[in-house]
Structure 1
Amino acid sequence: MSTEWERLKSDAEHARAYGNFAEAEVMWLRALKVADNFEKGDKRMALSMDKLGELYFEEKRYLEAEPLFQRSLVLRESTLGFEHPDVATSLSHLYSLYYVQNKLDKAEPLCRRVLTLYTKAFGEHHEYVAACLLNLAKLEQAKGNFAEADPIFAQALTLSEETLGANHAEVGKVLNDRGAFFLEAGRLEDAESQLRSALSIREAALGPAHPDTVNTLSNLGSTYRHLGRYHDAEPIYRRLLSIAEKALGPNHPDLGINILNLAETYQSQRRYLDAAPLFQRYLVIQEKQYSKDDPRLVESLHSLAMAYLEEKKFSQSEPLLKRALSIQEKALGAKHPDVGNGLNHLAALYYEMERHEEAEILLLRAIKNLGKDHLGSEYEKTLIAYLKHLETVYRAQNKLAEAEEALSSLIAVQEKMLGEEHPDVAASLTNLALVFEGQLHYRQAQKLLERALKIAEHSFGPEHPEIGQPLNKLAEVLDLQHKYVEALPYWERLISVYERSLGTRHPDVADVLDRLIASHRANKEYAQAEILCNRAISIRENAFGPEHPDVGFSLNDLAMVYFEQGKFERAEPLLKRASDVLKNALGPKHPEVALTLCCLATIYYKSGKLAEAETYFKDALAIYEKKGDAVSPQMNGALENLIGMYQEQNKLAAAESLCKRFLALRIKTLGSEHDKVAMSLNQLADVYCLGGKFALAEPLYEQSIEIQTKNSEKETLDLAETLDQYAMVLRKINKTMPAIKMETRASVIRRRENAPE
């Protein structure tokens, strides 16, 4: 009988080692039956229960494992006594079973009892005690008791190193688990240190592709992503994918998490060209598993579509989102509330394509389809998500009244569901402040932002990164009111918040530095601005590499610091490098490239290199024209400079052609009564005046005055200047009385505005 049990045990262990769990189960069931015939108290009975329970545990058959572990515990307690070390084995099995099912109240007393047994049996200075301390630390972590868990992790690590040696695989496990704890607790620098040590030990002790090594790599990659160190995370995720491919093959479904982690890391670096093929690959794997209309494809279709969306590959994104929506409608019905998710994603695409009316229609449909009965407690949560998106679409269309209404509804739902002091309310208050900012109601915006900041500080604390958004926007609104001195401490505080939470080298710190740089530039504090520009460049090069577009933006900022001081010889090489970086990263026709070209052109213009200046101005304007940009300050500056340059060189035909071209663009994109159309009419009229073509200039000034008068609540100094130009033309063509009327009207405006005559 004993020989038969030993044979069954050997066969079961062999089957399990080769992954044949079904055969192993049969062997252990037979072994358990054989053990029934042994004398009472025979250890093999409890061992058979343990081994069969372990098998079920590994297969996640927890309901079947639990009675086996419980029987094993009772048997050992009755035959060996409650304090025998073997009893701890059964207790540990039950602890692990309850722990993985998150039954922490049942798990904790078992863990503490095991610790007591091991300490009594082996003494406090033993590896078993260290292992039990590690389990207890993880248990406290799972309960959210981070303050209690921290010293227990430290104790487990010290004891493991002392009893096993600093390079033992079990020490690697403690370091890994402690690093994961620090990661969850947000102590990212500590997490990195522990995980790097764990990785070194596990690679040496277990090998570079061992599952435990893989687990540490995964934790370290996640830590780097949280730190914003995507350059460090990328090789880890590439390695993890390579390990999984070698183990499973290139098309195995379980590759998904590795593919997605690498894809998302590329997305975080804005390397959408690298991310999209990975999302595509994951979709292909899924399509081999499921039918083409399977709802399980929807999430993958959305991920790939969003990657294309970020790349501005709208024509590739749209069919994916439409397919996902079609799958949902087919599976659920067109009016089902869950279809709203697909409508929301498609609306996001149309928003980016500036097809705002279509986005608005989709979101209104999604909101209309919402059903309280179907969604239950999720109704308010989903309504909040759609209202957030809808108000953004309204703001993009400059439908500020509608945006205000949507945000007011959103805030009301949030306050009812979450309470008036909830951080989500603060976020919506911040967006409502942006609406007031768009209406030039800066004082109202400032009050909302002050309330939002107060809520965020109360919810998270004065140094938490979540206060960043209201802090950021409050500083911006103060800047818009030219309260630069008042805004400066908010920018400095924002940098301090990010440095504390994310580290001094995080890309988000560089984003705030940009605003602080702008504030210093506005105050002409160029020495401080230069220092901050160099720091922003260093951060972004470290985070993204020297060829990333954000590095190009920072180079451009530094160039502008020199440019505004007239240090053209220092600005020029920076602008050239910025131009090269942005062309390579974004394409030669991107608006950000145009801005750099404008700056270079201005340098050449002021340096008397007119041929080079003309080339760069024309290239920049061609980019703006192709994009349909008729209003941006950058486009206006380039246009005015090139027209002025032509006028100085007496190239009036070229100036006339340019003015007519952009007048037509502005009428087409903005309508015939926009203020920018009036500006173009003035520019063309000025060119005619220089050429002595006063009869052609007269109707242009007249039309410009009509537009400016209609569009403004009160007459402005810009209008006064146009009136004077018109009066000059009228005198040239001997219309003296109308000229006097224009001059008188201009004089009244200037006196009212306290402007010099």
Structure 2
Amino acid sequence: MSSKRLLTILFGLYAGLMFESVQATESPAVAPVARDPRSGAEAIEAPFKLESLIVNAQNNYQHGRYKDAIQLFEKAQQSSEKSDYQAAQISLGLAESYRSIGRYKDAEALFKSAIAEAEESDKKHLNKKYKAGKKRASDLVPTMMSDLSVLYLDQSRFQECEQILNSSIAIGTKKVGPNNYNLALPLNGLTRLYLKWGKLSEAKTVNDRTLALFSTPASKQNWLYAYTAFNLAQILNEKGKYKEAEALYKVTLLGLQSLIGFEHEHIAIILEPLGDLYRKQGRYEEARKTFQQVRKIREAALTKEHPDYGKALLDLALLYRDEGRYAKAEQLCRQAIKIIEASLGQNNVEISKCWITQASIARYQGRYSEAEELARKALELDEKLVTADHPAVAHDLVELGTILADERKFAEAETTLNKALKISKEKLGAEHPDIALTTRSLAEIYLSQKDYAKAEPMFRSSLQLVEKTLGPDSLQAINIVRDLSDLLTVQQKYDEAEPLLKRILTADQKLFGEKSPQVARDLEALADLYTKQKKMDLAGPLLKQSREITASLPGATEAQSYTAAALASSAQDRKVADKWALVVGISNFKDQSINLKYAAKDATDFANFLVTQGNFKSDHVKLLTDGNASKEEIASKLGQGWLGKRAQPDDLVVIYVSSHGSASQEDVGVNFLVAHDTDKFKLVSTGIPMQWLTKIVQEQVHSKRAVVILDVCHSGSAGEDSKKSDADDDEDGIPTDGAAKGLQRVKMDAGGLNIGSGQVVLCSSLADQVSWESKNYPNSIFTRKLIEALQCRGKDTTLTEAFNKLRSSVTAEVLSDRGAVQTPTLYNKTWTGGDPVLAVPCSQPRSAK
């Protein structure tokens, strides 16, 4: 259930609460039965039939059966026996049902006419004290106004929403006074509005006013106080104060559970953002338990047919996407779509949210054509259902722009994100936090194209907004400062970069401690800046301090003594005639227990880079991912099935593999790459021996110049924190595709491989290290930084230059994000040619046929 649905349900209690707060203590009088020309039995029976019809309609609404609710409310509307109060009750229920299925125009018209009729028919009572037990249509006016505000919130009509909520607050104040805690309900609605509007300071001001209403211990024993505390937790969450938000979510949860029990549907309201907070922090096990609890509550309270149950499945789908459990995430999306379509119909904004989620799942696997199609489909539906400048459309555009950027369609991505930025500024206001995210995405696109003149102001704009909305010491602000300092350093603006690096160091010392890995990274970055300026007296002490910290970290032992291989030019160097690449990445294995998160996407991104930036012809790059990367298929494409048949001695060949690397469980002294169909218990017969890989390149691929890139030994796989059996997951009838339960990650020693003449092997880590997947973007750190490093000096970047950049950037990010050491390695035993330039133009290009 969304927080907007919580508003709707709670506002349904609002009028009753105010009614109770002002009515006399005596029992309500029973209205006399009116005379009727029909028989006495019929005259008595008719009101009871109508009341039963209304109750039945309300029950259908509460359980998400909106179409049935509409039929019953419309039938009740035709009754000639209804009182003014019942007429208002029916209009309220019917309008809210219309809103729930996306019939916004019908809902808005009915809300407005119902409010006008209630005020007109009962105008003389609207601002007067209630008579004991007398229900009047005007009792429901505050509720109607509040529900209308939810409709405006659905459509991001923020100013109208603000106006109607203030009207509701004014009416409530006249009825119960300015200090009555029942006013907390519309005030909390106003807080939720400002949260969505991005006006965090206004949200905090209203929340402070609301909290002040609960001045006594007795008043705090109330679900309205819990709702107010929940909104404060939401504000803290939006500001990135996750620890404080988590603590307050939990306190609110305990308070609400003591009032309404553990299985009430409102408990799921608190649990849902708590689960999402866990997900954003990578605390997947806690997120899973929380989302499963939400699912179970909604199943019991609302049934599996309710659209909010479908939304609970969508929460789980996002979690499984982040874990790299894509098959399960996709199946949950399909289930959610089926449930939501059955209740709300196909043309509904909730369906577009499902499609956008599916697009992101496809993107995480490098299935960009499918991802782009789904994102465009969602965008088209939202433009049809809402307006072309609605914030939901901006959200779709951001997702589409990100996909286009991954495809390296930078011009189209830039246009798309700028369109999203324009909508967000106009509809959300220039200071909404989402604008900072979109602006930063644009900056990264410009950075990818080395358009520093455009990237720098975008980073500065994003930083300024984040500092204003979330604070200068927030983690989000520090991350942007780091990006900006890197950009300034690249442009040799050292005087501007230095204070930023010192700011980062101070912030990380305060946040993580003086001896933390994050501080080691900051010290090294500052030392590197001084080294570039030849200020070795300043750089030396900082490097010494950094190495003292990293010496005790995982993976540091070999990094202390490692020296990269050198590639020297030779008089025998010849021009590159043509270029070929075989690119392999496997995220989804036949044995789903060893699935990886980003390996297939890494391979797709590297292949796209070779074509768009590396001067490789598209038909000269063969991409094998997931089911297409079986042992037999890889061997075939390496040999006479493709590469061995086409490559010639003067060509340049690149072979890239992103998968598991594993030592055999049998004592054969061989390391193995894991293909899609590899049996982890039979590596000798089903895996790909790494020594065989380099040998087949030597014997069957006839090129004298081959670069082998191995991004293996992954640590950020689906099983990173999944050391459990997913019993809860199986209740959905979805097979578990979870963790790497049996595969031993290899202590990869690429230096021990038999490298043939003219071969260079670039490996993602040293023998006692693992290769980490990023917390900040859907790629392995090694592959993302490799693509960036291969462009560090444009198309003239040599492999050695790229390696030096790669090593420092990977080490820095892993230090900061993972508290470990990862050192990419470059091995060259018998390379006789000059330093390879992957983007070198071909002197004698040939057809791939």
Give the alignment's Cα RMSD to 1 decimal: 4.8
Query: Structure 1 residue aligned with 2:66, among 230, 237, 251?
Result: 230
The equivalent of 2:110 in structure 1 is: 278
Residue 363 (1) aligns with residue 210 (2): yes
- Counterpart among 243, 250, 265 of residue 97 in structure 2: 265
Match among 466, 478, 485 for residue 666 of structure 1: 466
CA shift for structure 1 position 666:
2.6
- Mapped to 2, the partners of 1:698 and 1:471 lie a distance apart of 43
The residue matched to 2:347 in structure 1 has which SS? coil
Higher helix share: 1
Q: Deviations over 1:586-605 (max 9, x none)?
A: 54455544443233223222
Distance apart, 1:612 and its partner CA: 0.9
Provide the residue aligned with 2:523 in structure 1: 723
Distance in 1 (CA, whole Å) between partners of 2:448 and 2:101 is 45
Structure 1 residues 528 and 308: CA distance shift in structure 2, 3 A: same
Shift of the 487–449 alpha-carbon distance from structure 1 to 2, 3 Å rule, reads farther
Partner of 1:547: helix, strand, or coil?
Answer: coil
**2:230 is equivalent to residue 392 of structure 1:** yes
Once the two structures are TM-superposed, the CA of residue 639 in structure 1 deviates from its matched residue by 4.9
In structure 2, the partner of 1:704 is 504
Which secondary structure does the structure 1 equivalent of 2:127 belong to?
A: coil
2:175 and 2:292 map into 1 onto residues whose CA distance is 52
**CA–CA distance in 2 between the matches of 1:342 and 1:256?**
22
Distance 2:271 2:321 in 1: 20
Q: What is the SS of the residue equivalent to 1:228?
A: coil
2:305 and 2:237 mapped to 1: Cα distance? 39
Structure 2 residue 404 is the aligned partner of structure 1 residue 604: yes
Deviation at 1:520, TM superposition (A): 2.7
Map Cα deviations across residues 254-282 of structure 1 (whole Å, 9 max, x no partner).
63232122112124346555433323222
> Structure 1 residue aligned with 2:34, among 39, 59, 82?
59
What letter corresponds to residue 391 of structure 1 in structure 2?
A
CA distance, structure 1, for counterparts of residue 164 and residue 234 of structure 2? 24
- Does structure 2 retain, via aligned residues, the 8 Å contact 1:229–1:506? yes
Matched with 1:515 is 315
Q: What does residue range 159-174 of structure 1 map to in structure 2 within 5 Å?
A: none
Q: Deviations over 1:322-372 (max 9, x none)?
A: 55555565566656xxx443354235314532423442453345334x7xx
For residue 359 of structure 1, what is the amino acid of its counterpart?
A: V
Query: Secondary structure in 1 aligned to 2:305?
Result: coil
Q: Supply the AA of the counterpart residue of 2:70.
A: E
With over 3 angstroms needed to count, the CA separation of the structure-2 counterparts of 1:301 and 1:272, relative to structure 1, is farther
Identity of matched residues, %: 23
Change (3 A) 1:723 1:645: farther
Look up the equivalent residue of 1:261 and give its one-letter code.
G
1:656 and 2:456 correspond: yes
Contact 2:146 2:186 in 1 (8 A): no
Superposed CA deviations along residues 353-392 of structure 1, whole A, max 9, x for unmatched, are 2423442453345334x7xxxxxxxx94785144223323
Deviations 1:113-172 (A, max 9, x none): xxxxxxxxxxxxxxxxxxxxxxxxxxxxxxxxxxxxxxxxxxxxxxxxxxxxxxxxxxxx
One-letter code aligned to 1:284:
A
SS at match of 1:559: helix
Q: For the Cα contact (< 8 Å) 2:149–2:161, is it kept in 1?
A: yes
After TM superposition, give the deviation of residue 516 of structure 1 in Å: 2.6
Counterpart-to-counterpart distance in 2, 1:740 and 1:314: 55
Alpha-carbon offset, residue 533 of structure 1 = 0.9
Cα deviations by residue, 1:260-315 (Å, 9 ceiling, x for unpaired) = 22112124346555433323222212322323634564640342144224413454
Task: Give the letter for the 1:395 counterpart.
Answer: A
Matches of 2:266 and 2:291, distance apart in 1: 15
Q: Residues of 2 paired with 1:319 and 1:303: CA distance?
A: 14
* Structure-to-structure mapping, 1:527-676, within 5 angstroms: 527-585=327-385, 587-589=387-389, 592-622=392-422, 627=428, 638-639=438-439, 641-676=441-476
1:228-627, aligned counterparts within 5 Å? 228-241=64-77, 243-244=78-79, 255-269=87-101, 273-289=105-121, 290-291=123-124, 293-294=127-128, 297=138, 299-312=140-153, 313-318=157-162, 320=164, 322-323=166-167, 326=170, 339-342=180-183, 344-353=185-194, 354=200, 355-368=202-215, 380=218, 384-398=222-236, 438=244, 484=284, 495=295, 498-499=298-299, 502-585=302-385, 587-589=387-389, 592-622=392-422, 627=428
Larger-gyration structure (1/2): 1
1:738-753 equivalent positions in 2, closer than 5 A: 738-753=538-553
Q: How big is each residue's C-alpha offset from its partner over 1:410-467, in whole Å with a ceiling of 9 and x where there is no partner? A: xxxxxxxxxxxxxxxxxxxxxxxx999646679x96998899699957xx7xxx8688
Q: Cα–Cα, structure 1 residues 513 and 673, in superposed 2: closer, same or farther, change >3 Å? A: closer
Letter in structure 2 aligned against 1:230 = Y
Change in Cα spacing, 1:592 to 1:380, as seen in structure 2 (3 Å) is same
Q: Which residue identity does 1:287 align to in structure 2?
A: E
Distance in structure 2 (CA, Å) of the matches to 1:680 and 1:737: 29
Alpha-carbon distance in structure 1 between the residues aligned to 2:289 and 2:244: 24
1:551 is displaced (CA, Å) by 0.9
- For residue 236 of structure 1, report the CA deviation from its aligned partner: 4.1
1:190-239 CA distance string (max 9 Å, x none): xxxxxxxxxxxxxxxxxxxx999977865664453244121333244345
Confirm or deny: 8 A CA contact 2:391 2:423 kept in the other structure. yes
Aligned residues of 1:582 and 1:593 also touching (Cα < 8 A): yes
Aligned mates of 1:274, 1:731 — CA distance in 2: 68
Distance 2:235 2:480 in 1: 24
Distance in 1 between the 2:252 and 2:162 partners?
40
TM-score by length of 1: 0.56
Structure 1 residues 535 and 450, CA, compared in 2 at 3 Å: closer, same or farther? farther
Secondary structure in structure 1 of the residue aligned to 2:213 = helix
> 1:474-533: per-residue Cα shift (whole Å, max 9, x none)?
977886786756875775676466446644322132122123323432442222222221
Instruction: Output the CA distance in 1 between the equivalents of 2:178 and 2:285.
Output: 55
- What secondary structure is seen at the aligned counterpart in 2 of 1:398? helix
- Bigger drift between 300-309 and 650-659 goes to 300-309
Distance in 2 between residues matched to 1:651 and 1:513, nearest whole Å: 41
The answer for the alignment partner of 1:24 in structure 2 is none
- Secondary structure, in 3 states, of the residue corresponding to 1:709? helix
> Equivalent residue for 1:67?
none
Which deviates more, 589-598 or 284-293?
Answer: 589-598
Structure 2 vs 1, CA of residues 719 and 256 (structure 1 numbering), >3 Å: closer, same or farther? same
* Letter paired with 2:64: G
Number of the residue aligned with 2:488: 688
Alignment equivalent of 1:732, drawn from 506, 516, 532: 532
Structure 1 residues 747, 693: closer, same or farther in 2, change over 3 A? Answer: same
Query: What is the TM-score when the length of structure 2 is the normalising length?
Result: 0.50
Alpha-carbon contact 1:346-1:359 (below 8 Å) kept: yes
Q: Does structure 2 conserve the Cα–Cα contact (< 8 Å) formed by 1:472 and 1:491?
A: yes
- Cα distance, 1:662 vs. partner? 1.6
> Quick one: higher RCO (CA 8 Å, sep 6+), 1 or 2?
2
Task: Write the distance in 2 (CA, Å) between the matches of 1:447 and 1:255.
Answer: 37
Distance in 2 (CA, whole Å) between partners of 1:533 and 1:307 is 30
Residue segments in structure 1 that go unaligned for 5+ positions in a row: 1-55, 62-88, 101-172, 174-209, 371-378, 401-433
Is the Cα contact below 8 Å between 1:499 and 1:509 reproduced in 2?
yes
